[in-house]
Amino acid sequence: MTHITPVDEETYALLQEIMADEFTELVEFFLTDTEQSLVLLQHCVATQDSTQVGTLCHKLKSSSKLIGAFQLAEFTNLLEDYKDHHDQQIARTHLNHLCAEFTQVVGWLKQKPAIA
C-alpha cells in the first residue's frame, strides 16, 4: 500500500538539493505567500472576483507543484476553473478543500529539516 503524503518526498528532496543554501528561504516564502494568497482567495470568492481567483490560483498552482505539493496544486486547479464557470458554491467547496490541504502541507513541512 502506498502512503500518500501532502508533499512528494522525491520532488522535495530534489528541490532541496538544487536550491542548497537558499532552500529554507524558498520554503518560508512558499508558506508566507500561500497563506496570504489563501486570505485573498477567500475575499475574492466571497466578492465573486473570478478573474482575480484565476490569477491567484495560477500562481499558487505553480509554486505548489514546484515544492511537490501535488494535491494542493490539484485543488488549486479546480478552484482556478471558477474564472470560467462562476459557480459560487463549487468555488467555496474547492476553496475549503484547498485550505484544508494547505494545513496538511504546513504540518508536513514543519516535520522536515529545512537543510539536508
pTM, whole model, 2 decimals?
0.90
Measured CA to CA, the distance from residue 9 to residue 67 in angstroms comes to 9
Grid cell of 41 as nine digits:
482567495
> Which tens digits make up the pLDDT trace of 30-66?
999 999 999 999 999 999 999 999 999 999 999 999 9
Phi, psi dihedrals of residue 8, rounded to the nearest 5°: -65, 120
